[in-house]
Structure 1
């Protein structure tokens, strides 16, 4: 006899204490009575015994895992953590979103390659390790944004303009741990970009980030969330972009330019706060319901 949804035990892989992680854990607890937030950096993976322990809890005994975050900062360590979780998918333990899908989006270059294979329009972008080619790119773009391969919320990004200080700025960026330089032309935007959200591949809503005094729209830099009802063409573009990754919950970053809508990236994890502050939409509760509805029930 199958257990009811109320009896299910779903752990949230995330950053203990962070808003989105705790919101999802609260939502799952409200629906099941079980609550567990797992800091993936504090687990031990025993390959021979096929166990993944967090304290005294073997995660392999649970009904599923929900990945909200995989660490407080984006870094190559994410791949190692996702690999541990990927093993458990082979044991038919449901994981939302599947680790191999997240891997395609968590690295900016991997995300870009997938978007380009899918013919998704993006701002002009160049990737190189060569200083001279990087300088030539800035001269061609006039103004460019240098982006770390692992980052979120514009952390570590650098705006570089052609001119006397161009080379020194690029050298400093590369020396700070960015051997491979991801260089994107700074495009003119109407003071905002859009987060187009999807759950299970279905569109659920859009919020805008209106920039403050900074060059970027991130709320950590003074940006504000606001309501947005985009044109069907933008929703269609974002839908095509997210479909390349097959994530259970994600937000597609879209920018409106004078050359049409373009995609910056598809989020590996998606965000709840934009939908909540712009629309009052409890995406965490919706996602908890989605997870329970899509569990592969076991006897």
Structure 2
């Protein structure tokens, strides 16, 4: 079997196009331009590249995009003061504080300071609780992207067995809730899980988000399964060249799976695309508006009843 690659770049591009249409509609009919503020503390190279990507794509879809670049020695109180200013700024609909933060700053104190209505990362305990309760909420972007990718392969997830490897608050835990709500039987696993290969062999879908390069081998997979690789790891090949690899042994897995995401070019683009989608959702929700399908147009902006 030669697995079909799930093209996250192309799927994310289509999602960004939808976001751009919604932004144009909001501006034309409601005089609303969604605003996204991204806060970066320090000069971590990977984080800096990621923030630039987010800002570039936000501008491309028509957002009011703002970046706040703070030195690594910034005080926690100063960072919290900036967040409070953004909370009260009506032109800002989404606030994202790029992680990780320097060790002298309490990550949870910062995340909990963000107004839940502007928490486009979906990390605030308020939004986490609403997600767990099955209530409308801003949901972490990567899990939303993973579910979207899976649904491009199979639209009805009811009754499917899924193994999610990784129990992080950013990916594994919220993803398990989303897939469970979609009707899947979800097994949450981690590196320490006993008989992990056997669990994967019984799964219709395997999502690897453990941060361990090449963890999932080809013989771990059921023939015809769907494999979603969330891992992003730096590795050195035999020629001494650095490259990005996932948590899945891609070549081996491709011989067993029916569909698989590559690294890079799979889940990563979807994460940024859903950040943009979440920002539009926040802009709409904060103002009591709705974007709804109509027979003659993709969406229509109006006051919610």
TM-score category by the smaller chain?
0.3 to 0.5
TM-score by length of 2: 0.39
Q: TM-score, normalised by structure 1?
A: 0.39
Higher RCO (C-alpha 8 Å, min separation 6): 2
Q: Greater helix share, 1 or 2?
A: 2
